[in-house]
């Protein structure tokens, strides 16, 4: 395929994002613009993302962000070969804003529209950043998802495990809330844990030892509540110990769950030379989580691939890249009638 340039749009949750990415003839990528506006301030007072506020914020921000992305990349819409917009899964209001905007631009410049699955964006990012070859394993750990996915090719995914209750990021956020720490909870819990004793509380490690590769984190949150309620008054040291013990339980859980996944992959693909585990999602920023996965990969002969933080969290570069991967394979673009999907099994 020749050189291809895509404008990517992401609006599925609480980040409004636009990016311009070019795929060169040799398959490498050049990110010409990567603009993200986080709505953190709009939602923090509520301790979580409020869908209606999110949708309105996307409407307010998106046009300006797209203009900014084009300006930074020094191109105009005439230089763009296609549009890629997230069409699901996510909050329906935000998806509508992004997909409708994508359709309008595609129609105006008479170029194809790719309606991208948000999870596919996360799954393919490591190919842009590290040139990872198919097949590989991807662990997505964000505020909304906890999934272990076998990535066989563009559009070929097998979900090996998912959470049966809370997402991992959600467990961090709820734990933080229980302990009176600020939103988003992940960074706050990690900071507090730095001075804590990870052995003080023996928190549960749900599903550890089971053959299926699913996750469960709601019991952990309940155990945190009980631990905090059992202490009065709760000191900063108590909070630090709870946070450290919480992260320790997560580390042990991941070791068991993902360890099994790596073994299953190795059995399925004995001939893959240097298999890779790719991590994505906001929780990938957590040092204990990273270190756990890094060690696990070293033990099992896997390469651990963690894209830079801004490409692990929600962004439009990954959406543009997913579109470019499809385009380069001559996969069909989507009809302008395509509808957003809040759920996308």
Q: Which residues are annotated as a binding site for substrate?
A: 140-144, 173, 186, 190, 286
**314 binding Zn ion? (CB under 5 A):** yes
**39 binding ligand KG4? (CB under 6 A):** no
Q: Binding segment for ligand KG4 among 55-63, 217-225, 230-238, 281-289 (CB under 6 A)?
A: 281-289
Pick one of Zn ion, ligand KG4, none as the site partner of residue 173 (Cβ within 5 to 8 A by kind). Answer: ligand KG4
**Separation in Å, CA 110 to CA 37, 81, 83:** 28, 9, 10
142 phi and psi angles, rounded to 5 deg: -130, -165
**Separation in Å, CA 25 to CA 19, 130, 176, 322, 328:** 19, 17, 47, 16, 10
Find the helix or strand (DSSP H, E) in which 88 lies. strand 82-88
Give the Cβ contact number of residue 149 at 10 Å: 24
Of 241, 314, 325, 334, the one binding ligand KG4 by CB under 6 A: 314
**313 binding ligand KG4? (CB under 6 A):** yes
**120 binding ligand KG4? (CB under 6 A):** no
In the complex with ligand KG4, the residue whose CB is nearer, 71 or 310, is 310
**10 binding Zn ion? (CB under 5 A):** no
Distance CA 311, CA 288 (A): 19
Per-residue mark of binding to ligand KG4, 135-164 (x: CB under 6 A): -------xxx--------------------
Distance CA 292, CA 259 (A): 10
Q: Binding segment for ligand KG4 among 54-62, 213-221, 265-273, 282-290 (CB under 6 A)?
A: 282-290
Per-residue mark of binding to ligand KG4, 182-221 (x: CB under 6 A): --xxxx--x-------------------------------
Q: Tell me the binding residues for Fe cation.
A: 118, 122, 314
Instruction: Classify residue 209 by burial, with Cβ atoms within 10 Å: 0-12, 13-18, 19+.
Output: exposed
Name the residue with the smallest CB distance to ligand KG4.
186
Q: Report how many helices (DSSP H) and strands (DSSP E) the chain contains, helices first.
A: 11, 10
Q: Rounded to 5 degrees, what angle do the CA atoms 15, 87, 212 make?
A: 90
Q: How many residues does the chain have?
A: 345
| Interaction site with Zn ion (CB under 5 A) | 142, 314
């Amino acid at each position: 395929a020749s050189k291809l340039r895509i404008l990517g749009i992401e609006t599925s949750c609480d980040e409004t994002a636009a990016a311009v990415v070019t795929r060169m003839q040799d398959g490498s990528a050049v990110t010409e613009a990567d603009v993200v506006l986080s709505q953190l301030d709009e939602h923090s007072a509520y301790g979580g993302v409020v869908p209606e506020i999110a949708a309105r914020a996307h409407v307010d921000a998106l046009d300006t962000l797209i203009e900014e992305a084009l300006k930074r990349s020094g191109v105009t819409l005439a230089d763009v070969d296609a549009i890629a917009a997230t069409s699901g899964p996510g909050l329906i209001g935000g998806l509508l804003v992004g997909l409708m905007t994508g359709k309008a631009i595609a129609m105006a410049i008479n170029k194809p529209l790719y309606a991208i699955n948000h999870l596919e964006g996360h799954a393919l990012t490591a190919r842009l950043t590290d040139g990872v070859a198919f097949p590989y394993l991807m662990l997505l750990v964000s505020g909304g998802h906890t999934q272990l996915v076998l990535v066989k090719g563009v559009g070929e995914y097998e979900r090996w495990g998912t959470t049966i209750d809370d997402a991992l990021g959600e467990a961090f956020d709820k734990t933080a809330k229980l302990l009176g720490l600020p939103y988003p909870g992940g960074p706050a819990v990690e900071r507090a844990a730095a001075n804590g004793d990870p052995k003080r509380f023996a928190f549960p490690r749900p599903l550890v030892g089971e053959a299926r590769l699913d996750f469960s984190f709601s019991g952990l949150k309940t155990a945190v509540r009980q631990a905090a309620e059992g202490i009065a008054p709760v000191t900063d040291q108590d909070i630090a110990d709870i946070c450290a013990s919480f992260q320790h339980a997560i580390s042990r859980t991941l070791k068991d769950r993902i360890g099994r996944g790596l073994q299953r992959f190795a059995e399925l693909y004995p001939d893959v030379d240097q298999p890779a585990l790719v991590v994505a999602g906001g929780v990938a920023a957590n040092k204990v989580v990273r270190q756990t996965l890094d060690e696990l990969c070293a033990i099992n002969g896997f390469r651990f691939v963690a894209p830079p933080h801004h490409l692990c969290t929600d962004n439009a570069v990954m959406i543009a890249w997913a579109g470019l991967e499809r385009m380069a394979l001559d996969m069909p673009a989507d009809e302008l009638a395509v509808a957003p999907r809040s759920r996308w099994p």
